[in-house]
Amino acid sequence: MELRFPLILDGAMGTQLQKRGFDGGDCAERWTLEHPEALLEIQRGYVQAGSGVLYAPTFGANRVKLEAHGIFNRVKEYNKRLAALSKQAADGKALVAGDLSPTGLFLYPLGDARFEELVEVYAEQAQALEEAGVDLFVIETMMNVAECRAALLAVKSVSEKPVFVTVTCDERGRMLSGTDAAAALQILQGMGVDAFGLNCSTGPREMLPTLRRLQKISRVPLIAKPNAGMPEITDAGAVYACAPSDFAACLEDFAAAGVMIFGGCCGTTAEHVRTLAEKCAALKMNPPEPADNGLLPCATEKELFFLDPAVPAGEALPCDSELEDRLEEAMGEDAPLVTVELKAEAELDNFADAQLLITKPLCIRCEDTALLEQALRLYQGRALYDGPLGEEILKPLAKKYGVIY
């Protein structure tokens, strides 16, 4: 599917449902299915205002979130029914995106989840949305890299349709997990995301500095889906006071920063979308074109690095039971990167559990193709490879996991 820019997304869903009676205490997906007329009114309004993409209201329709509301074994049913409502609202005048969001699970040792558990949860939802006939996928409001990666791998395992990812971060560009949005972009564009950007948390002006940083490294269109300003907490709840004209005041700056996909998050209305659509029609798009500085764009789970390719991989640390101690020592040394060596599948748990200690670029040394892929799947950054495996093996791994070789 060919996407045309500027691409106008929709506006808020949660705050709009609340205006129509949703109190926030129930499962939003269940409430929506019980009140379909509310969703149809909201999304038809967005289409009339100029939205080219509607987000299906499947934000929390993954197994983990549904089961938290006592809804079991209905992931496929919920996603198909909710996507069908959005297709009805779109009426062929807008694309419908399958919407995936955080599960709330954290990887061990911060939580109890394992990475493949996250992938399985997202794959179940993505398969249902693919069967429902969505036109593309959005992975949104993400707060840590692990869930971004799991959701992206899951979607790509069931569909060849475009995938967008937007993360939510503070004014410094940091996600809730502490990850720099620039690191998240580098990791995900290495894995083949079709567009990347920011949504929620801040208003347009607060989002702009981070988008300008992202433009310098992005090789995909950028997305801006801010709130209608910063929320003001009142006795009646959060109030978003940014008027449509003020909301759209940053559009030229957004476009100059490489943003090609525009929308609104919490507090925005059809009028915000209408103003976006009208002003975007006259905007000149500036696709990001980062300069090639000859450095290797690698990342840990938290930080982005540009590494001189002449830096040697150095002596490798074995992934045995002492790996955590060895990594703690290595992180305090002057070497610009750390290399680990994997020789057996039994070492993968040691590698997965110790990876949060890695605060500098990681190089993996491995001679076994299957073992290397498992390690790349588990590592939540963008790694380098040093070893004997050739182009025919490494090229597909680079496409899927972003490994640099």
CB count in 10 Å sphere of residue 398: 18
Q: Which residues pair with 384 in a beta bridge?
A: 363, 404
- In CATH, the architecture of 296-401 is Alpha-Beta Barrel (3.20)
pLDDT of residue 261: 98
> Against a cut of 0.95, is the pTM above it?
yes
Q: Is the pLDDT of residue 2 over 90?
A: no
Rounded to whole angstroms, how far apart are CA atoms 51 and 42? 12
Give the pairing of strands 362-366 and 384-385.
parallel
pLDDT of residue 281: 93
Residues of 84-98 as b/e, b for ≥16 C-beta within 10 angstroms? Answer: ebbbebbeeebbbbb
pLDDT of residue 162: 98
pLDDT of residue 236: 66
Give pLDDT tens digits for 174-212: 999 999 999 999 999 999 999 999 999 999 999 999 999
Give pLDDT tens digits for 102-120: 999 999 888 899 999 999 9
Give pLDDT tens digits for 228-271: 998 787 776 778 989 999 999 999 999 999 999 999 999 999 99
| Averaged pLDDT, 371-377 | 98
Q: Which residue has the tokens 């399958």?
A: 98
Cα dist from 211 to 138, 146, 163, 219, whole Å? 18, 21, 19, 13
Question: Could you tell me which residues come within 8 angstroms of residue 392 by beta carbon, excluding any fewer than 6 positions away?
Answer: none
Fold of 7-280: TIM Barrel (3.20.20)
- Percent helix / strand / coil, the chain, rounded to 5: 40, 20, 40
Domain with CATH 3.20.20.330 in the chain: 7-280
In this structure, of 108-117, 138-147, 269-278, 319-328, the range with the lowest mean pLDDT score is 108-117
Percent of the chain topping pLDDT 70: 100
Domain with CATH 3.20.20.20 in the chain: 296-401
